[in-house]
Structure 1
Amino acid sequence: MRILNVIGRRPTGGIGSVVKNYQKHLDKDVIYDYLLFSDYPEGPFDSEVKKLGSKVYIVPSLKLKNYIAINSQLDKLFHNIKNEYDIMHIHTVNVAFLVVNKAKKIGLNNIIAHSHATKFSDSKLKSLRNKILCKNLKQMTNYYAACSYEAGEFLFGRNSMINDEVKIIKNAIEIEKYKFSNYKRKKFRSEHNFDADDYLIGCIGRLSPQKNLSFALEVFRELVKKDDVKNYKLLIVGEGPELKKLEDLTNKYEINDKVVFLGFRNDVQNILSGIDLFFMPSNYEGLPVIGVEALSSGLPCVFSEAISKEFASSKSFYISFKNDIEEWGSNLYSISKLPIDRTEVVTNGLGYNICEEAKKLKEYYSNIIN
Structure 2
Amino acid sequence: MLERSRRIKILIPIRHPIGGIRTYLKYTYGSLSSHRFDLTLLFHQDYKTEKDTLSLLKDLEGYRLNVVIGNGKHALASLFNKVFLLLKSNKFDLIHSQGTTCGIIVSLVNTFFGVPHIITLHETFDEPVLGTCFLKFKRELISVLLGKADLINVVSKDARENLLNVFPRLKNKLAKIVVIPNGVDVDYFRGNISNAQNIHDIPGITEKDFVIGYLGRYMPEKGFPVLMDAMKVLVEEFTMRSVKVLCLGWGAFIREYQAYIRGNGLENFFVFLEFQNDVRWILRGIDLVVIPSLREASPLVPMEALVSGAPVVASNCVGLREVLKNTPSRMAIPGDPRDLARKISEVIDSYPHVKREFTEYIPIAVRRFDSKRSATKLEKLIVKLVSEMN
TM bucket (normalised to shorter chain) is 0.7 to 0.9
Deviates more, 1:341-350 or 1:143-152: 341-350
Instruction: Tell me, in whole angstroms, the C-alpha distance in 2 between the residues paired with 1:300 and 1:161.
Output: 41
Q: Does the Cα contact within 8 Å between 2:288 and 2:310 map onto a contact in 1?
A: yes
Question: What's the secondary structure of 1:56's corresponding residue?
Answer: strand
Deviations 1:75-124 (A, max 9, x none): 3222111x2x222111122233432243353341x211222111269856
Q: CA deviation at 1:273?
A: 0.9
Distance of 2:194 and 2:68 partners within structure 1? 41
Classify the secondary structure of the residue corresponding to 2:188.
helix
Q: Is 2:373 aligned against 1:365?
A: no
In structure 2, distance between residues paired with 1:72 and 1:314: 45
- 2:100 is matched with 93
1:237 lines up with 2:254 in the alignment = no
Q: Distance in 2 between matches of 1:31 and 1:95?
A: 20
Following TM superposition, by how much is the alpha carbon of 1:287 offset from its aligned partner in structure 2, in angstroms?
A: 1.2
Structure 2 residue ranges without an equivalent (≥5): 1-7
Q: Hey, which of these two has a bigger chunk of helix by percent?
A: 2
Q: Is structure 2 residue 339 aligned with structure 1 residue 321?
A: no
* Pair 281,193 (structure 1): closer, same or farther in 2 beyond 3 Å: closer
Residue identity in the other structure for 2:359: T
Residues 1:77 and 2:119 are matched in the alignment? no
Aligned residue runs from structure 1 range 1-370, under 5 A: 1-7=8-14, 9-27=15-33, 28-38=35-45, 43-47=50-54, 48-49=56-57, 51-52=61-62, 53-59=64-70, 63=74, 67=77, 71-81=80-90, 83=91, 85-108=92-115, 110-119=116-125, 125=131, 131=139, 134-157=142-165, 165-179=176-190, 187-192=198-203, 194-225=205-236, 229-308=240-319, 309-311=321-323, 312-321=325-334, 324-338=336-350, 339=353, 340-341=355-356, 342-344=358-360, 345=362, 346-350=364-368, 352-370=369-387
TM-score (ref. length: structure 1): 0.84
The CA RMSD over aligned residues, in Å, is 3.4
Secondary structure of the corresponding residue to residue 261 of structure 2: helix
CA-CA distance at 1:18 after TM superposition: 0.5
Alpha-carbon distance in 2 for matches of 1:105, 1:124: 27
* Alignment coverage as a number of residue pairs: 362
CA contact (8 A) 2:294 2:315 kept: yes
Q: Percent identity between the aligned chains?
A: 22
Aligned to 2:36, the other structure's residue is in SS state coil
* Deviation for aligned residue 1:214: 1.6
2:25 partner amino acid = V
Please give the secondary structure, in 1, of the residue aligned with 2:310.
coil
Which residue type is aligned with residue 366 of structure 2? N
Could you tell me whether the CA contact under 8 Å between 1:119 and 1:285 is conserved in 2? no
Deviation (angstroms), 1:330: 1.6
TM (norm. structure 2) is: 0.80
Question: Contact 1:182–1:273 at 8 Å: present in 2 too?
Answer: no
1:255, CA displacement in angstroms? 1.9
Q: Deviations over 1:319-364 (max 9, x none)?
A: 1237x533332222112333122533142343x2123332222112
Counterparts of 2:73 and 2:315, CA distance in 1: 31
